[in-house]
Structure 1
Amino acid sequence: MRTLFSLLYPLYSNNKFNLCIPIVLLFMTAISGIALLGISGWLLTGAYIVDIGAMFNLFMPSALIRILSLTKVVFRYIEKLTGHAAIFKLLSDLRGFVFGSMIKLNPKELSKYHNGDLVSRITSDIDILDVVFLLFLEPFIVVIILFFLFYLFFYCFMPINSLVMVLISCFAVVVIPFLLIRSTKNNGMYIQEYSSNMRGFILEMIDSHIDITIMQLQDAKNREFSYICSGMSKYRSNQSIASATGQYFLSIVSGIGIVIIIYLEIGYFEKNKIEAPLLIGILLASFGFFEMFSSIVKGSACLGSAIKGADRISAIIDTKNSIKDIDDPVNLPSHGDIVYDNVSFSYINSITNENSTVLHNVNLKINIGEHVAIVGPSGSGKSTLLSLLLRMDEVSDGYITFGGNDIRKCKQSDLHSRIAFLSHDPDIFLGTLRSNIIIGNQLASDDLIFETLKLVNLHDFIRNLPLGLDTFITETGSNLSIGQARRLCLARALISPASVLVLDEPTSGLDRVLEQDFFIDLRQAAGKKRSVIMATHANVFHFHDIKTYKLNDGVLFDN
C-alpha cells in the first residue's frame, strides 16, 4: 500500500485542481441524491398524514424534488466526464514517465524483463491504477465529508444517533475495506502476473509462429494458453466473490444501522420531539448516505491488483543504471583513434554463480578511417568487445580510449553520437522508408538520404517505387528482402554524423554473393574518415583494406 501511494502522491499533487473538480461534483451529486430522498420521504409522509395533501403545501417540495433530480443527473454526468478526463491525463503522464525511465535503462538492466512483461507493466499495470481514485479515494473523501455533516446534524438534534452513525461508518469505511484489501492482495498479485504472462505468451507466439507451425506445436500451445486463461479466470472470479461478499456484509451492517436509527427515531417521535414527515425524511436520507459506501467496498476489492501493479511499476522506476556518467565529464573530439589497452572483462554467471572471464588483456588500436574485423567462433567474446566500446558494459580491467580520452570519463550521449551501431539483427520499424532511415539523423534532407542510398545500392530501387521514400514498410520489414533490409539499416547508420561504425555480424543471413557485395559497398560508403570495427563470421581475409584479428577464448590475435 505504501508503494502505491508513494507512486501516486506526486501525480495527485501535480494535478490537485483537476482532481478536486470531480470530488466537488461527486459531493454535489451525493448531496443532491440524499436531499432528494429526504425531501421525497418528507413530502410523501406529510401528504399522506394530511389526507393526500388537503392542508399540505405541495408546490415548494415538489418543485424542489424536480430541481434536485435534474441537479443530480447533471452533476453526475459532469463528474464522470471530469473525473475520467483527469485520471486519463494522470495515467498518461505516469505512462510517459515509466516509459522514459525504461528507455533510459542500460540494455543489461532492461534484459531482466521479457517483452510481454514490459508491455504489461506499461499498459495493464498502469490502467488498473484508475480504480484507486475513481472507485476508492474519490468516494472515500466524499463519504468522510458527508459523515461529518450527518454527525453534526445528529449530534445537534438526536445525539444518540450520532454514535450509531460513527459505528456504522467505521465498519463500512474502515473495517470492511481493510479486510477486503488484506484478503485480495495476493489475488490481485496473481491477476497481474497472469495478465503479464498472457501478453508475453501472445508476443512469443507471434515471433515464433513459423517454428510452431512447422513443429506442429499448435495443440501444445493451445493447452498452455488455456492454462493461462483458466488461471486468470480463477483469480478474477475470486476477486468478484470477494467484492460480492464485501457488498453482502455492507448490506448487513447498513441494514442493522437503519433498524437502529428507526428504533431510536420512533422513541423521539413518541416523545413528540420529531414529526413523522421529518422522521421519514431523515431515514431515507440515511439510506442515501449508506449507498455511498458501496463504491468504497467495490474499489477495495480491486486495490490488491492496484497494489501489485504499483509494485511492478516502481520496480522499473527504481532500477538504477549500473553505468553512469561522472560529475565532470570530458569533451570528446568528433574523430579519434580507438584504443583497447589491456582490456579484460568478466561477470558472475547467474546459473553457476561463478566468475566467468570473457576477454583477457585485449590490446587493439583502430586508427581514423581504418576498417577492422574481429573474427572467431561463437562465444569467443566478439560481441562483448563491441559492447564495451559502446559502454553497454564496463571493462573489468584496463581501459578504452577515444581520441585519447577514457570513454568512462565522457558523457555516454557524447560517445554514442560519435558511434553508429548496426546489430546482427537490426530492427526495421513500422513506418515509411524515410522514417526508418532518418532515425540516425532527424534533420536529413531528401538529397542527403538519396546520396546515402547510392552508397548502399538502394537508390534506384527506392526511386522506382511509386511512393519513393514514403513507401510504407511493414513491421520487421517483411516486404523487403533480407539484403534490402540490411542495406536500409546500413544507410540508417551511414546517414548519422557518427565518425565510427560498429557492426555486429552485419552479413548474418546473407548468402556468399550478397555478403561480398555488402563489404564492397561498406568500403565505398564509409569513406576515408570513418572508422569501422566489426565482429563477423564472414570470410574477409581477401579484402586487403580490412585489418583482421582473431578472437579465441577471450584472447585477441593479430591475423
Structure 2
Amino acid sequence: MIKSLEQKNLFATIKRFSRYFGPNKFFLILVVVLSGLSGLAGIAGSYLLRPIINDYILPGDVAGLRTAVLALIAMYLTGVLFNFLSNQIMVKITQKIIFELRKDLFQHVDSLPLSYFDSNSDGNVMSYFSNDIDTIENALNTCFSLMSQSFITVFGSIVMMFVLDVPLTFFTLICLAVMIFIIYYNGKRSKTYYSKRQKHTAALNGFIREMIEGQKVEKVFGREAKNLKNFRIYNNDLRIASTNAFTYSSIMGPMVVSIGFINYTFTVCAGGFMVIKNLLDLGTLASYLIFVRQFSVPVNQFTQQINLFLAGIAGAERILNVFDMEKEPDEGTVLLRRTGTDEATDSFVWERPGSASLTPVKGEVRFHDVVFGYDSSRMILNKINIYAKPGQKIAFVGATGAGKTTIINLINRFYDIQSGVITYDGIDIKEIKKKDLRTSLALVLQDTHLFTGTITENIRYGNLNATDDEVIKAAKLSNADSFIRRLPMGYDTMLKNDGDNLSLGQRQLLAIARAAVANPPVLILDEATSSIDTRTEKLLEEGMDAVMKNKTVFIIAHRLSTVKNADVILVLDHGEIVERGNHQELLEQKGRYYELYTGAKLLV
C-alpha cells in the first residue's frame, strides 16, 4: 500500500528524487564549488576588515589603506562573479531536470490503466504537470545554490569567529542551536500542511476544470449558486491548509532575525567592554561584528527559502506517489505483423516469438463464460458467451447499463476479466501484446475526441503512415470529404479545443474517417452515428459498407434502425444475453428486442 504524503520520509523523498541529479552531478558539484567560493570571498573580505582597521586606519597609513580597499573590492567582485556563474549554471541544470521529470511523468501517466483515470479527475492529473512541477522548479532554481552558499557562509563565519575570539563565539553557537531548533520544529509542521495544500490545490483545479468544461449544462440547469457553494468548500479547504502552512513557515524568519539581533547586541556590548579593558583590539571586534551579521543573514535567507523548499518537497512527494502507481500490466507476447501491401484483412498475421508458424488475422472474436465487474463486489457481466465469425456484423442492444460498452472495453482489454476467456482468432487476448491487440482494432466512440492540429493530422492519427490520398479516401468513405472541402482551409483547417469550430456530427464523421484510415481487421462502433442526422446517416451507411468490408464489426446503438442489417443482434439485460438472432428473427420472437424496436418506432 502506498504511504500517505504525511507518512513519507523527507530524506527518503530527497533520495528517490536525487536520481535526476545523477546526469548533472558534475555541474551540480561545480555549482556547489562556485557557491562556496562566493561565500569564501565574502568571508575573506570580512576578515580583511581587521588588518585594514588595525594596520592602516588607526596608524593613518593612507597609501596602505588605498591598496587594502582595492583588494577588498576585488575580493567582493570575485564573490559576485562566482555567485553569478553558479546561478546561471543552476538555471540550466534545473531546466534539464524539469524536462526529464516532466517527460518521465507524462510517460508514466500515459502507461497507467484506465482504472486510474476513472478514480482521478482530469484536474488532479493536470495539477501534477502544472502546480507540482512548478513548485519543484522554483525550489531548484532558488534554493540549491543559495542554500549551498549559506551553508559555506555560516560554517566559514563560525570558524573565523573562533579564530578571532573563542568566548564570544560560544554565545553565538547557543543562538545558532536555538535557530536550528526553530527551523526544524516549524519546518516539520509546515511540511505536513504544505502536502495538504498541494492536495487541496489539485482538488480545486479539478473542480474548476469540470465547471469550465460544463458551462452549458451549468447554465441550462441554473446551477451557478450550487456550484459556487461547492467552490467555496474547496476554496476554504485550500485556505485553511495554506494558512497553517504559511503560519508555521512565516514565523521562522522573524524569530531567527530576532535571535540574530540579540546575538549582535550581546556581541557589541561584550566586545565593547573587552576593547575598553584591552582584552580585544578594535579591528578584531569590527571584523567579528561583520561575521555576526554575516552569520545571521544566510540563516535568515535559509528560513525565507524553506517555504519554497517545503513546497517543492510536497510537490515531489505527490509526483513520486504517481510513479508508485503500477503501470498497465502487459504479459502478452503475440505480435501483429503485416505481410502484404493490400488492404485485405488477411494481410495481417499473429506471430508468436520463437515460433515459425503464423496465424492469419481473420477477426474471429469469442467470449467464453466471461464474468466481469469494475468493482469485485458488483458484477456487470455474468458468464457472457459471444461468437463473432470473421466478417460478421455483431450488434449489441439493450437498456442503459446493460453492459454493452463494457463488452467493447473488454475486447480492447482496457480492463481484465474476473473469470472466463476472450479469444481473438483462437488466441487468448491476454497472450497478445496490448499495443498489437489495439492496433488490430479501430474504435469509434460516442464521445469523439479531436486533437489540436489540422483535419489531415486528425484523420491520420489512425495511421501515422497514411498518405494524403489515403486520408482523403477515408474522408470520402465516411462522407466527411464534402464538408471538409467547404471549410476555408479545407484539409489544412486547424482544429482546437476538441474541434469546437465543427458541429457534433462533423466531429463524429472525422472520428469515423480516422478509423477508416487505420483499416484494422476489427471495427468497433460505439454509438458512432448518434450525433449524425438521419439524412447524413443514410449517406454515411454507403461509405461505411466499404469501410466494414471483410471486417468483423461490433456495433452498439440505441437507434435500432442502425442495426437492422447486422448479421447477429445480441440483446443484453442486466449483464446477460437474453436474446440473439437477426432483426427479422428477433421481431418474430416478440421478446425484449421486439419491445425495444416497437417502442422506438412509436417514439419516432
Same topology, TM > 0.5: yes
Match of 1:499 among 516, 521, 537: 521
After superposition, where does 1:160-559 map in structure 2 within 5 Å? Answer: 160-161=167-168, 163-164=170-171, 166-172=173-179, 174-226=180-232, 228-229=234-235, 231-233=237-239, 235-259=241-265, 261-262=267-268, 265=271, 269=275, 275-321=281-327, 323-326=329-332, 331=351, 333=359, 335-347=361-373, 349=375, 355-528=377-550, 530-540=551-561, 543-544=564-565, 546-556=567-577, 557-559=579-581
Q: Which has the higher contact order (CA 8 A, sep 6+)?
A: 1
Q: Output the CA distance in 2 between the equivalents of 1:77 and 1:542.
A: 71
Structure 1 match to 2:37: 28
Q: Which moved more, 1:327-336 or 1:469-478?
A: 327-336
Structure 1 match to 2:117: 110
Structure 1: unaligned runs, 5 residues or longer? none
Gap change, CA 1:372 and 1:182, over 3 Å in 2: same
Structure 2: unaligned runs, 5 residues or longer? 1-9, 336-349, 353-358, 582-604
Following superposition, the deviation at residue 320 of structure 1 comes to 1.0
Following superposition, the deviation at residue 56 of structure 1 comes to 6.2
Following superposition, the deviation at residue 311 of structure 1 comes to 3.0
Query: Secondary structure, in 3 states, of the residue corresponding to 1:83?
Result: helix
Gap change, CA 1:232 and 1:393, over 3 Å in 2: closer
Query: Secondary structure, in 3 states, of the residue corresponding to 2:518?
Result: coil
Following superposition, the deviation at residue 540 of structure 1 comes to 4.2
Structure 2 match to 1:66: 73
* Two-structure CA RMSD over aligned residues (Å): 3.0
Q: Output the CA distance in 2 between the equivalents of 1:500 and 1:326.
A: 19
- Contact 1:422–1:489, Cα closer than 8 Å, also in 2: yes
- Contact 1:325–1:408, Cα closer than 8 Å, also in 2: yes
Post-superposition Cα deviations, 1:209-240, rounded to whole Å, max 9, x if no partner, equal 01222233334434544554455455444444
Following superposition, the deviation at residue 317 of structure 1 comes to 0.9
Post-superposition Cα deviations, 1:406-431, rounded to whole Å, max 9, x if no partner, equal 11112111111111222221201122
**Percent of residue pairs identical:** 22
Gap change, CA 1:14 and 1:112, over 3 Å in 2: farther
Following superposition, the deviation at residue 33 of structure 1 comes to 3.4
Query: Secondary structure, in 3 states, of the residue corresponding to 1:551?
Result: strand
Query: Secondary structure, in 3 states, of the residue corresponding to 1:375?
Result: strand
Gap change, CA 1:210 and 1:79, over 3 Å in 2: same
Q: Output the CA distance in 2 between the equivalents of 1:328 and 1:433.
A: 34
Following superposition, the deviation at residue 432 of structure 1 comes to 1.2
Q: Which moved more, 1:453-462 or 1:267-276?
A: 267-276
Post-superposition Cα deviations, 1:114-172, rounded to whole Å, max 9, x if no partner, equal 01111112211122123544555544443444444344444555444554454444443
Q: Which amino acid aligns with 2:261?
A: G
Structure 1 match to 2:28: 19
Q: Output the CA distance in 2 between the equivalents of 1:63 and 1:477.
A: 67
- Contact 2:477–2:540, Cα closer than 8 Å, also in 1: no
TM-score by length of 1: 0.89
- Contact 2:190–2:248, Cα closer than 8 Å, also in 1: yes
Q: Which amino acid aligns with 1:16?
A: K
TM-score by length of 2: 0.82
Q: Output the CA distance in 2 between the equivalents of 1:182 and 1:519.
A: 65
Following superposition, the deviation at residue 268 of structure 1 comes to 6.6
Q: Which amino acid aligns with 1:538?
A: R
User: How many residues are paired up?
Assistant: 551
Structure 2 match to 1:100: 107
Following superposition, the deviation at residue 266 of structure 1 comes to 5.5
Following superposition, the deviation at residue 558 of structure 1 comes to 1.5
